[in-house]
Amino acid sequence: MLTQNLRMLERNGLVDRDVHPTVPPRVEHTLAEPGRALLETTRLVCDRTRRHLHHVEAARLRFHA
């Protein structure tokens, strides 16, 4: 599953993949520029979620009641 996700991110230009010619082979993944650009947006969404988590949890309780 991890490999599939990394390949999807690579295919979409968010992650760069570097294969090192060692035995066994070593692969290194790094964020490409578009991936780094998304990092700040992702941090903002995570911060917002943490600040409002009590609202999310209350909504879930109401939904399942």
At 51-61, the pLDDT tens digits run: 999 999 999 99
Domain count, the chain: 1
Model-level pTM? 0.67
* Structural contact between residues 33 and 27, judged by C-beta atoms closer than 8 angstroms: no
Domain that holds residue 33: 2-64
Average model confidence (pLDDT) across the chain: 95
Residue 59: give its domain's CATH number. Answer: 1.10.10.10
